[in-house]
Amino acid sequence: MAQPFPPLVFSRDFDPQTGVAVPVGRGIVRVTAPNASAYTFTGTNSFILGEERVAVLDPGPESESHRAALLGAIGRRKVDAVVLTHTHRDHSAMAARLARELGAPLWFGGQHRLSRPLRRGERNPLKRSCDWSLVPDRVLQDGETILTGDLSLVVHATPGHCRNHLAFAAGDMLLSGDHVMGWNSTLVAVPDGSMGDYLDSLDKVIALPCRRYLPAHGGPIEDGPGYARALRGHRQMRNEQVLEAVRSGAETVGAIAARIYPKQSFAVRRAAAMTITAHVEYLASLHLLTIHHGLFGMRIRARPERSPRGK
Ligand SMILES: [Zn+2]
């Protein structure tokens, strides 16, 4: 089948220079936190935005060395705000403390919330990664422009990875948070996140006039929109694979994972199950599948032939 999307190629060749203030664009400095892991790649990228006055984006995890690196990079400049792309703890854990120490307000897209309500008996697999109690001094709104000293940032609501995710456009650059990252595809796990929201948010950033993306993990993406289109194509292929597996008789997420990843270990398939569940819910929202929640978990059935649309 013809694929209108460019191929998806990850880039993992990145030296984060952890703890060092690295200029990455006009008025933008990156400082990577020392929290490298399988989920955070080389660690969370914090950004210092502005020249004479600054804002700090995503202060990252609780870490004395990272706090010292950020304070060193800020120097004596006034800090207008501490801003977050979203409230997963690898981005937000140090935010309240740093804002207090700097005498700066805390701005983000509203308190952490789920993308849909929990069903009875369901648990949020990301529950412990979320900063539930953090409250913003100001809730940033989609489309508004915020001025941090000499830099103006346009706020773009980009839900999907989680409900309150924001990306920020600074001229032709996009601080893309966890929404678009060059090293890997973004984790979309229900009900913290939503595949439908995620795909809509990919379309949204593809349409922006921003070319260079600065993600919250890993290095810059030079052709951001081209890469985001490749991610879009990858998700569409996954939608088609999931639908195909269900049409040929797979009735559970485990059975779908076994068809899509037949050679993978049980552990890899279990991780993939989170993403497949998000695809299944998305396909059900398009009325391509039906989901029955019974005593023995979720049973998935195909609906009569219709192919997934552009999404
Ligand atoms: Zn996150």
Query: Residue 247 C-alpha to ligand 1 middle, in angstroms?
Result: 33
List beta partners, residue 32: 45
Residue 231 CA to ligand 1 centre (angstroms):
17
Distance between Cα 94 and ligand 1 center (Å): 15
Q: How far is residue 167's CA from residue 156's CA, in Å, rounded to a whole number?
A: 5
The Cα–Cα gap between 90 and 63 comes to 11
pTM metric for this prediction: 0.94
Distance 305 CA to ligand 1 centre (A): 36
Task: Please tell me the distance from the alpha carbon of residue 26 to that of residue 151, in angstroms, as a whole number.
Answer: 9
Q: With cut-offs at 50, 70 and 90, classify the pLDDT of residue 306.
A: low
Cis peptide, bond prior to residue 117, ω within 30 of zero: no
Structure tokens at 84: 């977050």
Measured CA to CA, the distance from residue 7 to residue 93 in angstroms comes to: 35
Ligand 1 centroid from CA 90, angstroms: 7
Distance CA 48, CA 66 (A): 13
Task: Compute the distance from residue 151 Cα to the ligand 1 centre, in Å.
Answer: 25
Strand partners, 46: 31
Q: What is the pLDDT of residues 84-128, one digit of tens each?
A: 999 999 999 999 999 999 999 999 999 999 999 999 889 899 999
- Residues of 147-172 as b/e, b for ≥16 C-beta within 10 angstroms? ebbebebbbbbbbbbbbbbbbbbbbe
Q: What is the mean pLDDT of residues 64-71?
A: 98
Question: Cβ of 89: how many Cβ atoms within 10 Å?
Answer: 21
* Span from the CA of 165 to the centroid of ligand 1 (angstroms): 8
- State pLDDT tens for residues 34-50: 999 988 999 999 999 99
What are the tens digits of pLDDT across the range 15-36?
A: 999 999 999 999 999 999 999 9
Q: What's the mean pLDDT when you consider all of the chain?
A: 94
pLDDT at 279 (0 to 100): 98
Q: Per-residue confidence at 294, pLDDT binned at 50, 70, 90?
A: confident
Distance 2 CA to ligand 1 centre (A): 33
Query: In whole angstroms, how far apart are CA 213 and each of 24, 168, 217?
Result: 11, 10, 11
Cβ atoms of 153 and 146 closer than 8 Å: yes
Q: CA–CA distance from 106 to each of 101, 109, 163 (Å)?
A: 12, 10, 18
pLDDT at 59: 98
